Amino acid sequence: MSNEKSLFAHARYDIPAGIVVFLVALPLCLGIALASGAPFFSGIISGIVGGVVIGVLSSSNLSVSGPAAGLAALVLAAIHNIGDFRLFLCAVLIAGVLQILMGFVKLGGIANYFPSSVIKGMLTSIGILIVAKQIPHALGYDKDEEGHLTELMPFGDMHEIFQPLQHVDLGVAGICLISIVIMLIWERPFIKNKLPFVPGALVAVVVSILLNELLMAIQSDYLIQPDHLVTLKVASSPSEFLGFFTFPDFSGLLNGKVIVTGIMIAVIASLETLLSIEAVDNIDPERKVTNTNRELLAQGIGNSVAALIGGLPVTSVIVRSSANINAGAKSKLSAIFHGVLLLLCVVAIPGLLNKIPLSALAAILLLTGYKLCKFSIFTQMVGNGKYQYIPFFMTVATILAIDLFGLIPAVKGEGLLIGVVVGLFGAFFGILYQNLKNSYYFHRENFHDGDKITIHLSEEVSFLNKASIRETLDQLPESSTVIVDASATKYIDFDVLELIKEFRDIKAPLKKITCQLNGFKESYQIDNAHFVSSSH
């Protein structure tokens, strides 16, 4: 009874907030299913699971989970590569189990070990892929459900370049353009401040339905045909509705492609969730801190449930979570209630949902993708310096080369994972280079009888620093005084110690250099304050 009281303690805030989140989530669930090349029903299932299952299990009061745009590109490529949606569901199940294990072994801090430059590169690439994949749907020239941008870019004679324009459906394109304009206007302060609880995406969807109904009434040539509308199955009985759920083909658990896809989903979904949770905690009015290990556990159970009934991968989503907070939610009841509303919606009004033009959903996704990859992100990364923008551009270039342009057909569809790995290598070599460069610094003072140079070794000096230290010692001027100071050093590699001994005992006397060692531990077995007198 106490749990019931605590759950409904803030119902007067959470119920209205849940309605707002539902209005935000509904078009996104359908749109992400479209972007993923999956059945529309699977997007709704994930929204329901994200709200009800994860909402109950999560320790976050304000986070809202559901299908994420950030996984759409990966899911689209994975379904295409695996070749069967039921086999793909096994990959989602594997991802869920891996997340559960990650929660148990307390890997909730894993996102801290991924450089922000690589994560931003991954999200930027996802945005570009979403935009590229939605342009055909936006123009009505989608010859296959995956929406390949290359359909609009034929290569051949000059007259073929304009051939796709002959196939663009002006009604579809018009609805998309109007939807984009509505959402952009809705974000302006003079409307957003007056109607903060009415999502622009929902307004665009409603207007698109009304416009198409008007075109139907006047029998316009620009009427949007059924193949450019949402197609949810409509059940005539509860038993028929239950038949709409898709169950995994468990033979996929032994399929190599399925296993690799499951690992990719687990890693990327976990990163997205942990980043979203961090953002939610930062904007939480009460500044509560979410238990990230429990969150991974909740997400893993949610993904496992979604996989078993035909849903898409689920993550915590910042768009829905921020809408939840702005709507005044106080507890997890709002997320749970939004999931219940999604279930009621797909049961009660699937016919109305089937009137939604795909181009309206494409418009939502185009703006979502643009926000992930807008030009200011590139300029910001360049402004942050080369150690940020090099891994960023390496990640973006690799993902786009593989998954958009198909330059490496053998690994097409695995661009996100390969891109992240390439970006991590870029970041690693950047750190390595910095470490090589910052293993020491020296201060030079000029005296009438020669230079005095102090070389301060850094806290950690590994074998990787050997080459740069050797180069510095070899270039020291003759007849100088050199002090090698290790007083701030906790570790010096054996090879570096041998190098310093060689310089002190052999090279310094040859160049008439006075060498002094300070701060070296006894365990290094190297004498401090050892001078080699130089003859002038």
What does the block give as tokens for 210? 């009304």
Phi, psi of 446 (to 5 degrees): -95, 125
Sign of CA dihedral 449, 453, 454, 460: negative
239, with CB counted inside 10 A (0-12, 13-18, 19+), is exposed
Bridge pairing between strands 440-447 and 450-457: antiparallel
DSSP 106: T
Q: CA-CA distance, 517 to 501, in Å (whole number)?
A: 10
What does the block give as tokens for 388? 């940020």
To which residue do tokens 């304050």 refer? 529
Sign of CA dihedral 64, 267, 411, 257: negative
Low-confidence ranges of the chain (pLDDT < 50): 1-4, 144-163, 448, 532-536
- Domain parsing of the chain, residue ranges: 2-373, 439-524
pLDDT at position 171: 92
Residues 285-321 as b or e (16 or more Cβ within 10 Å = b): eeeeebebbbbbbbbbbbbbbbbbbbbbbbbbbbbbb
Nearest CA-CA partner of 54 in 323, 304, 308: 304
pLDDT at position 153: 43
pLDDT at position 161: 40
Tell the CATH topology of 439-524. Answer: Transcription Regulator spoIIAA (3.30.750)
- Specify which residues 461 forms β-bridges with: 492
List all residues 6 or more positions away from 13 whose beta carbon is below 8 Å from its beta carbon.
328, 329, 330, 334
Residues 208-226 as b or e (16 or more Cβ within 10 Å = b): bbebbeebeeeeeeebbee
To which residue do tokens 């990230």 refer? 292
Q: CA-CA distance, 121 to 126, in Å (whole number)?
A: 9
Phi, psi of 441 (to 5 degrees): -145, 155
Q: How many Cβ atoms from other residues are within 10 Å of residue 408's Cβ?
A: 14
DSSP 459: S
